[in-house]
Structure 1
Amino acid sequence: MRCIAAIVAHACLRPDHLWRDLGLSGRDDVTAMLERYFPTLVIRNTASLRWKKFLARELALARGTEPGPAPGCPGCEDFGYCFPHGH
């Protein structure tokens, strides 16, 4: 489980969709992987946020800081979709 967490965390640093950064076929594959290894995390994504955005938000909230994009998000083609007000 720690190995998977490290791989996902590292992928969040990359500037693309998390599923692409992980070499998967789509968002559903990320969901399936997270359901297998981190089911309680998946349950908390009640707003169905994209995983990279959700994970960055969860980390910020755990640290008591303002949620924002993951480090790789600004380079993503959909940055404006996920963060329409800049950031």
Structure 2
Amino acid sequence: MSIAITFPDGRTESYEHPPTGLEIAQNISPGLAKKAVVVDVDGELWDLNRPIEHDARIDIVTRDRPEGVEVLRHDAAHVLAQAV
């Protein structure tokens, strides 16, 4: 079973097992993996630890991008609500 992952620049990479967004980011660069917040899989934001089990177009969202900041703020709001 080969899974084809297509990146925003059009490059495609094959994986023999369902990769996670974090694995893909680590393969690209350890720095990218540290800055990654979520992965955009075919237009949906997924947790970095969720396996991608089908051919997909992905984009790794970092904390430097508006979408990444929004995810961090949303998660922080949930943590604050739990603390209260």
Greater share of residues in helix: 1
Greater C-alpha Rg: 2
